[in-house]
Amino acid sequence: MITFMPTSRSFTAGKIIANGRFVANVLGSGHETLCREFARGSEHRFEHGIFDATDAGIPRLRDAVAWFEGSICEVVSAGDHNMVLADVTALGVGDGSSGLPLVFLKGGYGSFTVPSLQFDLHGFGEQLRLVDAMTPLMEEYAHEANVECILSTVVRDSVVVLAAANLRPDHGLSSMLGMSFPFAAPLSPALATWSTDEKLKLWTENSRHLIGRVDRPVLEAMRDRVRERGYAVSLGRTMDEAFDVVVVNPETSRAELAALWTQVHEEYTALAESEHWYAEVSSFQVPVFDPEGNAVVELVVSGFGPGASRERFDAITQGAVATAARLTESIGGRMPAGRSEA
């Protein structure tokens, strides 16, 4: 048997109950728009999918993960909802193109992740080789500008530090190389802004899973600034004083990470519109692009603030942008259209 529980005032549910038969489709990860259109009762909701008819003439979604045809046997009143119980009369799977099932959690849509023992060792090795080729140029810039630099990239759903230069003595290379943290908004927006749609969604949904919400207007404004400037900034004291301490500690709990991400988000929101925002920058990140124009590595610059003068800040950002352009060229990458080089 299967069941669904519509509100007692649902017009569509009334029609289904009167008909006595229905098809329930299990949606895939690519069906978010379809789901939203049906949820709000759009007149054009059937235009967002391809539907075939069952032997009973009931429409079913061609690329559903699975589908179940039901014959209603009982309707039970449950407050302001009804519980519709049905016997399964037919069932099947879709054409296999829908991906993993679509899930709804804490106000947003996403999908399951499948744990795997397989790791793309060749791909990660290629990233290491790219970073190794970039390191001398990064070191040259770090010493000339008297700043700290790291090169980091996304590995699965985490940001991993693969190289570092000119770090403060209290850091030391051993405490930074290999350091990883969640690839979750609002951190690492440079890697998210110029990336695939899949990676951008990962960045957004990881934030939802970590802190329980996604402030889309703030994140979109952040990405607009990244596109305009050609680099991303981290604002406030938390990134400078607490971030490394928390993420390096292997005993850091998920709750502590969530508190850190929340604090970083709040400080960015409070300071982003400040007239002297540059004086609040604790670090900034400049993307390095692959041949497809996607951000494959970010050059992270710190050790100059918060509190840097505008002249100092402009000088080091201009140098970093120029260095990132050289790094992109060194690996055969290309700047994406519309990317600022200011």
Residue 295: pLDDT band by 50, 70, 90 thresholds?
very high
Contacting residues for 36 by C-beta, under 8 A, at least 6 apart: none
Question: What number is the average pLDDT over the span 136-148?
Answer: 94
**pLDDT for the residue 116:** 47
Residue with tokens 């290491």: 128
| Residue 168 pLDDT greater than 80, yes or no | no
Among 12-16, 55-59, 169-173, 260-264, which is the least confidently predicted range? Answer: 169-173
Identify the three-state secondary structure at position 26. strand
| Residue 327 pLDDT greater than 90, yes or no | yes
**pLDDT for the residue 40:** 81
pLDDT in tens, 38-56: 888 888 888 888 999 888 8
Rounded Cα–Cα distance for residues 227 and 238 (Å): 24
| Residue 320 pLDDT greater than 90, yes or no | yes
Identify the three-state secondary structure at position 292. coil
Which of 73 and 40 is assigned the larger pLDDT? 73
- Crossing angle of the two packed helices 216-229 and 197-211, in degrees rounded to 10: 130
Which of 236 and 88 is assigned the larger pLDDT? 88
What average pLDDT is seen over the chain? 86
**pLDDT for the residue 342:** 44
Which of 175 and 14 is assigned the larger pLDDT? 14
Residue 118 burial class via C-beta count within 10 angstroms: exposed 0-12, middle 13-18, buried 19 and up: exposed
**pLDDT for the residue 136:** 94
pLDDT in tens, 204-238: 888 887 887 788 899 999 999 999 999 999 998 88
User: Measured in Å, how far apart are the chain's first and last C-alpha atoms?
Assistant: 62
Q: Which domains does the chain have, with CATH numbers?
A: 2-111 (2.30.110.10), 121-330 (3.30.450.40)
What is the share, in percent, of the chain residues with pLDDT greater than 90? 48
Residue 146: pLDDT band by 50, 70, 90 thresholds?
very high
